[in-house]
Amino acid sequence: MLRPKRLRPDNIPEADQPVSGQGRAWQVWLYAFCFAGLAAMVMPDQKPFPYQYVPGQPWSYSSLKAPFDYEVLRQPEEVADSLKILQDEHGPYLLIDPSIEQKQLQQFTDKLAKQVEISRYDTQYDDLLKNPDQYRRFGVALLTDLYQKGITSDNTDYLPNLNRDGTVYLVSGNTTVKTSFSELFTVKKARDFLIDTLPFSPVRQPEVILPMLEDALEPNLVYSDSMTTASLRRKTSALLSTGIIVGKGEEIIAKNELVGPAEVQKLESLSRHFQTQNPWEQYMGYGLMALLVFAGLLASFALLPVLNTPGREQRLALPMIILLCIGLLSFANRFGASVPLLLPIFALPVLLQRIYPAVLCWGAWAAVVLLSGFALDWGGAWMAIQVSGMVGSMLLLVNAQAWATRVASIGSVVFLEVFVWVAAGMAGKLPESVWNYDTVLLFFGAGLLALAVFPLRQMLERCYKNMMKYMPEWAQKHPERHASRVFFYFNCSIILISGILLQCTSSQVDFCLWNRE
């Protein structure tokens, strides 16, 4: 049966039809992967240790206090010989599995009982039939002795950390015993031990139970990579430890004080807490979180027709605006942990409300706050501050028309953010670099920058009207689509110029941060 072909409405161009959730799903994921990869590279990174000093020279920065409790450690160069000896003597940790011993002992007991049952009328097993308990106790004692000493595999390839001395550590419950691998029983050595021991056994026919004992032999030592690594880390930390703890808020070095050996030790120990162990894992984590955010944002265009904007370019412009905001926050974070508060994120929906539906404006704000808070070291307090700004902006700022109302609304939003900042600081959720009086000035600076959003929005609206007025003839058939493309290219140019400026100035920023007097 032929079905009539579904016609598209005349007033909607084909390229701008609502995106099908099934037919365009691959596009959603493709764009989401691209934007997630870019976001992972521009999200705020943990700030490296922002101090440079020369031993024996004055400390050129302001007085430095410990941001948290940490232990003063020796330099690896001081204990290099001891560390080498430690690594040479360190061996793998082998766990004794008691379940294997119990299983094999039960197997031996069952086989012995079965042998007694089937040999009831066989004169060859007269002594076994007369003294079955004696044979059972003797076999169980032999196997118990072997399993308590440990039986390992004949192949040592499963022990990657075995040193030339063959040192291993046997772990049974809470007990750890250092021994040599040569003293352990392999399955072959355990069989030889049984053959050599049976002639001296208290039973008259020990050869009767020899096959049962050999069948009950199974390796019960399990290599533990986690315990081996944790033990080496624990021993290394004990070797580097000085036993000196620097408490939170304790002064490490004062301004213009000479950087002596004790100060160098404290500063080097503090700098280790700012080092990223594996940056690729961090980027992967950022990318996965960004993938979730951008996939949800782009899928909303495809699945919710009410959110379909006039053109595809305008839909793609929104994630680019989010990337630009995150890049600005990341750049501000290079100056200091509190500098991102200077950017009025709460005003982003106000800037976009004439271009996108309100749901998408607040969705863009949520994406910026979520991704930046996920990357910042004090992300919990950051998101709490931004949520308070969002509440104030939603209630007061979005619908403000007169300039007096706008100024009062922005003042109220700033007051809410400062209030939450004080609460977070008193609760100990802020680092010392953010919990100071200078940060209040950043909030007021953000309020002043928020005032510039309104003339900027008017400028964008005027540009949009001019584009519609002086549109070329070939674009007059679909004016909204043409304006959408121009808006997209405008965002691309802004992001490109911003990226070049940020890249060119980042080296100068680092130079100023590391060499300021």
Q: Please compute the mean of the pLDDT values over residues 258-280 and round it to a whole number.
A: 77
DSSP 393: I
15 pLDDT above the threshold of 70: no
What pLDDT score does 487 carry? Answer: 53
22 pLDDT above the threshold of 50: no
Q: Please compute the mean of the pLDDT values over residues 80-85 and round it to a whole number.
A: 77
Confidence of residue 514 (pLDDT cuts 50, 70, 90): very low
Q: Which of 69-78, 94-103, 154-163 has the lowest mean pLDDT?
A: 154-163
What pLDDT score does 44 carry? Answer: 77
Confidence of residue 14 (pLDDT cuts 50, 70, 90): very low
Angle CA 366–424–437, to nearest 5: 105
Q: Residue 166: left if φ>0, alpha if ψ -120 to 50, beta else—which one?
A: left
* Token couple for 33: 């992967």
Confidence of residue 50 (pLDDT cuts 50, 70, 90): low
> pLDDT above 90 covers what percent of the chain?
0
102 pLDDT above the threshold of 80: yes
What pLDDT score does 165 carry? Answer: 66
What pLDDT score does 391 carry? Answer: 87
What pLDDT score does 2 carry? Answer: 39
83 pLDDT above the threshold of 50: yes
Q: Which of 16-25, 112-121, 384-393 has the lowest mean pLDDT?
A: 16-25
What pLDDT score does 203 carry? Answer: 81
Q: Please compute the mean of the pLDDT values over residues 265-291 and round it to a whole number.
A: 78
87 pLDDT above the threshold of 80: no
**Taking the complete model, does pTM exceed 0.75, yes or no?**
no
Q: Which of 46, 56, 57 is nearest to 515 (CA)?
A: 57
183 pLDDT above the threshold of 70: yes
Q: Which of 289, 285, 296, 250 is nearest to 63 (CA)?
A: 250
Percentage helix, strand, coil for the chain under 3-state DSSP, each rounded to 5: 65, 10, 30
Q: Please compute the mean of the pLDDT values over residues 431-460 and round it to a whole number.
A: 80
Q: Which of 1-5, 204-208, 257-261, 354-358 has the lowest mean pLDDT?
A: 1-5
Asked if 300 and 363 touch (Cβ cutoff 8 Å), the reply is: yes
Give the list of residues 6+ apart from residue 132 with CB closer than 8 angstroms, or none. Answer: 112, 113, 116
Q: Which of 365, 354, 373, 370 is nearest to 459 (CA)?
A: 354
Give strand pairing partners of 185.
Answer: 151
Q: Which of 218, 222, 223, 221 is nearest to 143 (CA)?
A: 218
> pLDDT above 70 covers what percent of the chain?
77
Q: In sequence order, what DSSP letters do the residues of 462-478 get, joined into one string? A: HHHHHHHHT--GGGTTS
170 or 397: which leads in pLDDT? 170
Alpha carbons 445 and 211: distance in angstroms, whole number: 86
80 pLDDT above the threshold of 70: yes
What pLDDT score does 229 carry? Answer: 81
**pLDDT tens by residue, 220-242:** 888 888 888 888 888 877 777 77
Name the strand (E) or helix (H) holding 178: strand 175-180
505 or 31: which leads in pLDDT? 31
Q: Alpha carbon of 382 to those of 85, 117, 305, 430: distances in Å?
A: 46, 77, 33, 9
251 or 61: which leads in pLDDT? 251
* Token couple for 393: 């902006």
Confidence of residue 345 (pLDDT cuts 50, 70, 90): confident
19 pLDDT above the threshold of 50: no
Highest mean pLDDT among 48-57, 410-419, 422-431, 500-509 belongs to 410-419
Q: Residue 45: left if φ>0, alpha if ψ -120 to 50, beta else—which one?
A: beta
What pLDDT score does 278 carry? Answer: 61
What pLDDT score does 327 carry? Answer: 84
What pLDDT score does 398 carry? Answer: 72
278 or 6: which leads in pLDDT? 278
Q: In sequence order, what DSSP letters do the residues of 61-95 get, joined into one string? A: SSPEE-SS-EEEE--TTTTHHHHHHHHHH---EEE
478 pLDDT above the threshold of 60: no
What pLDDT score does 193 carry? Answer: 86
Q: Please compute the mean of the pLDDT values over residues 240-259 and round it to a whole number.
A: 82
Q: Which of 39-48, 108-117, 280-289, 436-445 has the lowest mean pLDDT?
A: 39-48
Asked if 270 and 252 touch (Cβ cutoff 8 Å), the reply is: yes
516 pLDDT above the threshold of 70: no
195 pLDDT above the threshold of 50: yes
What pLDDT score does 71 carry? Answer: 82
Confidence of residue 160 (pLDDT cuts 50, 70, 90): low
Q: Please compute the mean of the pLDDT values over residues 162-172 and round it to a whole number.
A: 75
φ, ψ of residue 388 to 5 degrees: the values are -65, -40
Instruction: Please provide the average confidence, as pLDDT, over all residues in the chain.
Output: 76
7 pLDDT above the threshold of 60: no
49 or 290: which leads in pLDDT? 290
What pLDDT score does 124 carry? Answer: 75
292 or 5: which leads in pLDDT? 292
Q: Alpha carbon of 180 to those of 160, 230, 355, 427: distances in Å?
A: 15, 20, 74, 53
349 pLDDT above the threshold of 50: yes
Q: Please compute the mean of the pLDDT values over residues 229-258 and round it to a whole number.
A: 81
Confidence of residue 5 (pLDDT cuts 50, 70, 90): very low
Name the strand (E) or helix (H) holding 186: strand 185-186
What pLDDT score does 23 carry? Answer: 44
Alpha carbons 323 and 495: distance in angstroms, whole number: 9
